[in-house]
């Protein structure tokens, strides 16, 4: 593997010819900060930047982001071209800063519109850019010195970004031909010199800048290979904010950067000191900070958003109220330098100062429901701000998974036996140099291909799979991973599928895992639906290999589409299972009620016996209290009928309290001899007056 990619060297060539002094026609208001204007005062007229100013500002923003994220190993050489070329810096590390470049640009000054256009050309700068790519950087020299025997491993690649105002597509092709010829000439010179290196790859990015309101004469073109050493792409962009957005996208593509937007940042308002508002700040960093999202596929949960050009540009993370200092340790899996997209904005400045003062900010994924997941943290180290990736999954430090019986771990049902067979099937052995594959593939490439096919779908845990726990599916699972299927293999796979259909018709049980589920688990139809879905997933991963693989998938799809009479039979089977479940539940409820009543009756008897055994005396002269025998079951009071259906917790508790209270006292005479819960008072007065009482409590003459 050769060292140093194309991103190691970047040469900016900015056109300084007279036509770059033309206005971009994008107006900038200068009077927007004036709150009140006295009468008679003429407002300031808006101004517009030149094409040269737009090119310099956007290219310097490109360099600022590059220097923030890669302060050491990514280098920039800046060249200005008019009647001759002007090299503003070198590949040395001390020249790699925006301060050096801005000082050099100030010395160059703006383009002179009165200069003769015929004497100026962008070709001077492009030729100088190719010569600069042939020069050895300090990092390349260190690697070549350390690898004297294998110095050829140190590659020399680079990228040229040209900002100009081209005349037409023909003019662009002429520039490409000039660069190709220059590369060939410089490579010949480098072959006989120890101070130069031949260019092995050069990427040309030509950005055509034209004013607002004009039609472009240069068409966009994606990356195209001009020669084995040169590739070229063309971007036609309007000056102003469009050019800034385009270079922001290019710097992300060239250096594997990604964007993260921090939302809901609380900040004090300048106008109202007692109020605060929420702001957003966009940060650029290495793409690996989002690698966990790409692995898990949770990009939609992390809040990705797109912009006008349709490129997925930013990922949203929410601000968490900082309750941590930098002294606290977090389990981080990576740390990446960041660079604000709009470095001069007030929210970016406040966030940067807040972090540089030693504070840390936790960031969470925006979720509509469920608990919040803190996935990142912003913190500074040595004056540089880093985006830390926090481990939101199970930590390998605190709870390692258990492979065999023993202490630690929550996962114990790994497919250990199947993994042993997997290793046996993919074991590497030495091969003779003479025995090569007729197709021309090296043995190591064939081994990698086989390993990739075997691992396209391979669940690691027993409870996460059904088909790999079934002996009936083993023939198909072993054959479908093959690179080529014979006709006999196809028949075996189809026979396996038909056997599964027959098992479903007979309603044979499947080895469905019930870990973590309550009750009997899923219904029989649901079990087979899970099995068919998993089998289809396995076969789909290999369906594109050959036509026979596709025929296996077609067979599964055909068998899954059941006829109407089969569906009716399945419905009847489901109804019968539901009736059996209801009968089983009712029987268990009745048994629970009987056992509850019996236990309450025995408990009441034991409590009463304990009370009778105690003799309570207030004083030595007080008589012993009368011994009252409990009335266990009254003939008059009938036990309430149990309501149909399962008894509720309230009714069971009420019955218990009623039975317990009835045993603690002697029932009132009136309540015991009442009729329909009614008892007539003052009966002796009616008897004295000669009035008879009726047995139902009503008076009768």
Confidence tier at 615 by pLDDT (50, 70, 90): very low
Confidence tier at 251 by pLDDT (50, 70, 90): very high
Query: Does 112 have pLDDT greater than 70?
Result: yes
d(CA 458, CA 470): 14
Decide which of 591 and 249 is more confident: 249
- Which of 438-447, 449-458, 625-634: highest mean pLDDT? 449-458
d(CA 181, CA 676): 117
Q: Are 454 and 481 in contact (CB under 8 A)?
A: yes
Lowest mean pLDDT among 99-113, 369-383, 425-439: 425-439
User: pLDDT exceeding 70 applies to what percent of the chain?
Assistant: 73
Residue 62 falls in which region: left (phi positive, over 0), alpha (psi -120 to 50) or beta: alpha
Give the tens place of pLDDT for each residue, 139-185.
888 888 886 656 567 889 999 999 999 989 999 999 999 999 999 99
Domain parsing of the chain, residue ranges: 9-31+44-255, 259-390, 412-427+457-515+523-563
What is the pLDDT, as a whole number, of residue 194? Answer: 82
Q: Is 259-390 in CATH node 1.10.599?
A: no
Query: Does 621 have pLDDT greater than 70?
Result: no
Residue entry with tokens 């020399």 = 156
What is the pLDDT, as a whole number, of residue 524? Answer: 80
Lowest mean pLDDT among 326-330, 359-363, 507-511, 631-635: 631-635
What is the pLDDT, as a whole number, of residue 270? Answer: 61
What is the pLDDT, as a whole number, of residue 685? Answer: 79
Task: Return the ∠ at Cα 32 (arms to 30 and 33), rounded to 5°.
Answer: 100
Q: Which residues contact 208 (CB under 8 A, 6 or more apart)?
A: 164, 165, 166, 172, 216, 218, 234, 235, 236, 237
What is the pLDDT, as a whole number, of residue 127? Answer: 94
Lowest mean pLDDT among 56-65, 351-360, 666-675: 666-675
Instruction: Say how far residue 302 (Cα) sits from the centre of its chain.
Output: 6
Task: Return the ∠ at Cα 347 (arms to 344 and 352), rounded to 5°.
Answer: 75
- Residue 292's nearest CA partner among 355, 373, 361, 368 is 373
Record the tokens describing residue 225, joined without a space.
Answer: 């290979």
Give the tens place of pLDDT for each residue, 3-23.
788 999 999 999 999 989 898
Query: Does 313 have pLDDT greater than 80?
Result: no
What is the pLDDT, as a whole number, of residue 78? Answer: 96
Confidence tier at 130 by pLDDT (50, 70, 90): very high
Query: Whats the size of the chain, residue-wise?
Result: 701
Query: Does 125 have pLDDT greater than 90?
Result: yes
The H-or-E segment that residue 43 falls in is none
**Beta-bridge mates of residue 48:** 27
Range 189-200 average pLDDT: 89
**Beta-bridge mates of residue 339:** 284
What is the pLDDT, as a whole number, of residue 521? Answer: 63
Helices (H), 561-639: 564-613
Mean pLDDT of the chain: 79
Confidence tier at 591 by pLDDT (50, 70, 90): low
- 411-415 long-range contacts, Cβ below 8 Å, gap at least 24? 411/461, 413/461, 413/462, 413/463, 413/513, 413/515, 414/460, 414/461, 414/462, 415/459, 415/460, 415/461, 415/462, 415/465, 415/468
**Beta-bridge mates of residue 389:** 334, 376
Lowest mean pLDDT among 106-110, 428-432, 481-485, 593-597: 593-597
Task: Return the ∠ at Cα 187 (arms to 182 and 188), rounded to 5°.
Answer: 100
**Beta-bridge mates of residue 3:** 154
Decide which of 542 and 644 is more confident: 542
Q: Are 258 and 290 in contact (CB under 8 A)?
A: yes
Give the tens place of pLDDT for each residue, 629-648.
455 444 444 444 444 556 78
d(CA 522, CA 646): 24
Q: Are 269 and 242 in contact (CB under 8 A)?
A: no
Range 287-292 average pLDDT: 86
Q: Are 110 and 142 in contact (CB under 8 A)?
A: no
Q: Are 174 and 121 in contact (CB under 8 A)?
A: no
- State which CATH number among 3.90.950.10, 3.20.10.10, 3.40.50.410, 3.40.50.300 fits the domain covering 9-31+44-255: 3.40.50.410
Cβ neighbours around 183 below 10 Å, total: 21
Give the tens place of pLDDT for each residue, 544-565.
889 999 999 999 998 887 655 5
What is the pLDDT, as a whole number, of residue 649? Answer: 85
What is the pLDDT, as a whole number, of residue 614? Answer: 45
- Which of 213-217, 273-277, 478-482, 622-626: highest mean pLDDT? 478-482
Lowest mean pLDDT among 52-61, 236-245, 684-693: 684-693
d(CA 310, CA 235): 16
Lowest mean pLDDT among 66-70, 266-270, 277-281: 266-270
Query: Does 515 have pLDDT greater than 70?
Result: no
Confidence tier at 617 by pLDDT (50, 70, 90): very low
Confidence tier at 400 by pLDDT (50, 70, 90): low
Task: Return the ∠ at Cα 592 (arms to 588 and 597), rounded to 5°.
Answer: 155
Range 372-396 average pLDDT: 83
Lowest mean pLDDT among 222-236, 378-392, 551-565: 551-565
Range 442-458 average pLDDT: 88
- Considering Cα of 688, then 693, then 699, then 701, what sign does the dihedral take? negative
Decide which of 452 and 275 is more confident: 452
Confidence tier at 193 by pLDDT (50, 70, 90): confident
Decide which of 561 and 594 is more confident: 561
What is the pLDDT, as a whole number, of residue 701? Answer: 41
To the nearest 10 degrees (0 to 180), the angle between helices 51-69 and 241-254 is 30
3-state secondary structure of 45: coil
Record the tokens describing residue 82, joined without a space.
Answer: 């008019």
Q: Are 281 and 347 in contact (CB under 8 A)?
A: yes
d(CA 40, CA 605): 105
- Residue 131's nearest CA partner among 156, 102, 105 is 156
Q: Which residues contact 356 (CB under 8 A, 6 or more apart)?
A: 380, 383, 385
d(CA 535, CA 470): 11
d(CA 316, CA 356): 22
DSSP per position, 161-229: EEEE----HHHHHHHHHHHHHHHHHHHHHHHT-SSB---SEEEEEEEEEE-TTS--SS--EEEEEEETT
- The torsion angles phi and psi of 50, rounded to 5 degrees, stand at -85, 165
Record the tokens describing residue 300, joined without a space.
Answer: 């939609």
Give the tens place of pLDDT for each residue, 653-662.
898 888 888 7
Query: Does 339 have pLDDT greater than 90?
Result: yes
What is the pLDDT, as a whole number, of residue 620? Answer: 41
Residue 41 is classified by DSSP as P
């Amino acid at each position: 593997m050769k060292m140093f990619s194309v991103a190691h060297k970047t040469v900016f060539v900015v056109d300084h010819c007279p036509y770059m002094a033309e206005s971009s026609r994008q107006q900038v208001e200068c009077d927007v900060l004036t709150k009140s204007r006295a009468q008679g005062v003429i407002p300031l007229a808006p101004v517009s930047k030149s094409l040269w100013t737009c090119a310099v500002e956007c290219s310097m923003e490109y360099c600022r982001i590059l220097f923030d994220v890669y302060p050491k190993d990514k280098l920039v050489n800046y060249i200005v071209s008019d009647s001759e070329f002007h090299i503003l810096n070198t590949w040395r590390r001390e020249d790699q800063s925006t301060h050096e470049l801005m000082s050099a640009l100030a010395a160059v000054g703006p383009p002179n519109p009165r200069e003769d256009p015929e004497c100026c050309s962008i070709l001077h700068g492009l030729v100088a850019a190719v010569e600069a790519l042939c020069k050895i950087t300090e990092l390349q020299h260190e690697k070549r010195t350390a690898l004297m025997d294998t110095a050829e491993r140190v590659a020399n690649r680079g990228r040229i970004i040209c900002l100009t105002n081209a005349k037409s597509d023909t003019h662009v092709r002429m520039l490409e031909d000039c660069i190709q010829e220059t590369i060939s000439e410089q490579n010949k010179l480098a072959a006989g010199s120890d101070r130069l290196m031949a260019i092995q790859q050069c990427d040309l990015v030509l950005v055509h800048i034209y004013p607002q309101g004009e039609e472009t004469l240069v068409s966009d073109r994606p990356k195209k290979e001009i020669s084995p050493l040169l590739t070229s792409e063309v971007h036609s962009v309007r000056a102003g904010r469009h050019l800034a957005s385009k270079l922001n996208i290019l710097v992300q593509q060239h250096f594997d950067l990604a964007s993260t937007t921090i939302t809901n940042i609380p900040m004090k308002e300048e106008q109202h000191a007692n109020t605060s508002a929420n702001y957003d700040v966009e940060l650029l960093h290495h793409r690996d900070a989002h690698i966990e999202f790409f692995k898990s596929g949770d990009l939609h949960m992390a809040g990705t958003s797109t912009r006008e050009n349709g490129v997925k540009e930013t990922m949203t993370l929410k601000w968490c109220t900082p309750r941590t200092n930098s002294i606290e340790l977090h389990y981080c899996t990576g740390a990446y330098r960041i660079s604000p997209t709009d470095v001069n904005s007030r929210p970016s400045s406040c966030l940067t100062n807040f972090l540089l003062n030693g504070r840390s900010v936790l960031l969470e994924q925006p979720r509509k429901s469920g608990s919040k997941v803190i996935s990142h943290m912003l913190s500074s180290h040595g004056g540089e701000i880093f985006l830390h990736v926090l481990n939101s999954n199970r930590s390998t430090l605190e709870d390692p998974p258990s492979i065999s019986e023993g202490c630690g771990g929550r996962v114990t049902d790994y497919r250990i036996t199947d993994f042993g067979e997997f290793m046996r099937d993919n074991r590497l052995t030495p091969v003779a140099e003479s025995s090569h594959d007729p197709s021309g593939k090296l043995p190591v490439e064939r081994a990698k291909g086989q390993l990739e096919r075997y691992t396209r779908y391979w669940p690691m845990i027993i409870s996460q799979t059904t088909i790999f726990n079934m002996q009936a599916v083993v023939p198909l699972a072993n054959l479908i991973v093959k690179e080529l299927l014979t006709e006999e293999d196809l028949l075996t796979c189809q026979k396996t599928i038909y056997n599964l259909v027959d098992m479903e018709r007979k309603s044979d049980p499947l080895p469905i895992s019930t870990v973590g589920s309550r009750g009997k688990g899923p219904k029989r139809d649901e079990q087979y639906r899970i099995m068919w879905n998993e089998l289809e997933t396995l076969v789909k991963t290999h369906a594109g290999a050959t036509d026979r693989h596709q025929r296996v998938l077609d067979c599964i799809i055909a068998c899954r589409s059941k006829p109407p009479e089969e569906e009716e039979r399945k419905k009847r089977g489901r109804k019968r299972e539901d009736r059996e479940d209801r009968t089983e539940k009712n029987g268990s409820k009745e048994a629970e009620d009987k056992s509850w009543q019996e236990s309450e009756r025995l408990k009441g008897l034991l409590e009463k016996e304990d009370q009778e055994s105690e003799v309570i005396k207030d004083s030595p002269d007080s008589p012993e209290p009368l011994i009252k025998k409990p009335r266990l079951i009254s003939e008059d009071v009938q036990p309430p009928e149990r309501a149909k259906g399962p008894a509720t917790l309230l009714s069971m508790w009420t019955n218990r309290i009623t039975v317990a209270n009835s045993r603690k006292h002697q029932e009132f005479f009136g309540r015991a001899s009442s009729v329909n819960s009614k008892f007539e008072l003052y009966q002796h007065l009616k008897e004295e007056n000669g009035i008879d009482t009726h047995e139902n409590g009503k008076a009768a003459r």
